[in-house]
Amino acid sequence: MAHVDPELVQDDPASQQGWRHDYVLTNGVRLHYVEAGDPDGELVLLLHGFPECWYSWRLQIDPLAERGLRVVAVDLRGFGRSEKPAGVSAYTLTTLAADVVGCVAQLNHGERAAAVIGHDWGGTIAWSVGSLYPHTTRRLAIANCPPGYALRRAWRIPRQLLRSWYIFFFQVPRLPELLLRLGNFRFVDQSLAPARQRNPRGVRPQDIAYVRTEMTRPGALTSGLNYYRALVRLRPADLRRLEQPVSVPTLLIWGDQDPYIDVRLTRDFLRWAPAGRLVHLPEAGHFSHQEEPARVNQLLIEWLAA
């Protein structure tokens, strides 16, 4: 791990909360993370989605840390203050899963498994880790991201194809970057607007502004889009590996008002994750962990303690 960058402790919400910044070198990339809790406690990795960063988990960090856990919220490769390798091939799911495995090995000194919690793309990566590296994970918890089998099933649901229009748009070179930069990256505000409407105290204007600022970092937008570009280029052999059932105990939290992902993709969840539990939040949307943090935190704490 590297020394803390002085930039990270100036006008930063993590420092204001007393959380610690650091970096870890894993799988050939330098990832930034924010840490809280007992350094000797059980490691819990928090993985964010697009278009966010570690800050997506601000409402979970302290409640989990107060339980004696070592909570590490990561900036995934390409996001925030983490390194941003060039090229679509740097963002395959197998590569992203290997990043997490390396994080666990580095932060735990290779001694024990960790709990991995993910949302959106972080959830996709968490599923991949559970399928490919079950020895790395003690438990999984995932918010609004369907299991690996949904990667193939999604294309057979017309309603989901309509909801996923942006994935196809993101395949166009350069044009998505040009359009998403308009209005000082206002697409970030638009993405988080439903969460703000449901929980204005937890998703404040300054919270959205921080996420937007992190997305404006050089290379961050293209890196984030490369996640989607790499997804549609997934090799059949890798897809079959990612569709393997998950033996790790897995909690799937689902906000039923999600405008991006059809709830039907959760069908057969327990067949695919037999040690799993599915909890629906009828009034929550895609950012369920920010929209209903008290309920989500309760679910996570109970799941991790089981």
Q: Is 251 a domain residue? A: yes
Tell whether 252 is covered by a domain.
yes
Give yes or no for a cis peptide into 51 (omega within 30° of 0).
yes
Positions in the chain whose pLDDT score sits under 70: 1-11
Please list the residues that pair with 277 across neighbouring strands: 251
Note the pLDDT tens digit of each residue in 241-270: 888 889 999 999 999 999 999 998 898 888
Is there a domain that residue 25 lies in?
A: yes
pLDDT value of position 11: 65
Examine residue 145 and state whether it is found in any structural domain, yes or no: yes
138 within domain boundaries: yes
3-class state of residue 255 by DSSP: strand
Number of other residues whose CB lies within 10 A of the CB of residue 115? 25
Q: Which two tokens stand for residue 276?
A: 């799993």
Residue 189 is among the residues annotated as catalytic for this protein: no
**Location of structure tokens 């327990």:** 270
Q: Which of 23, 33, 48, 120 is catalytic?
A: 120
Q: What is the pLDDT of residue 239?
A: 84
Residue of 48, 119, 286, 289 with catalytic role? 286
120 catalytically annotated = yes
Strands, E, within the chain: which ranges?
20-26, 29-37, 43-47, 70-74, 114-119, 137-143, 250-255, 276-281
Residue range(s) defining the domain that contains residue 42: 6-305
Does any domain span residue 49?
yes
- In this prediction, residue 16 carries a pLDDT of 87
Residue 263 neighbours by CB under 8 Å, 6+ apart: 254, 256, 280
Catalytic one among 228, 258, 262, 289?
228
210 is catalytic: no
How many domains in the chain? 1
User: What CATH number has the domain bearing residue 187?
Assistant: 3.40.50.1820
List the one residue out of 292, 31, 247, 50 whose CA is nearest residue 148: 247
In a domain, 162, yes or no: yes
Residue 1 resides in a domain: no
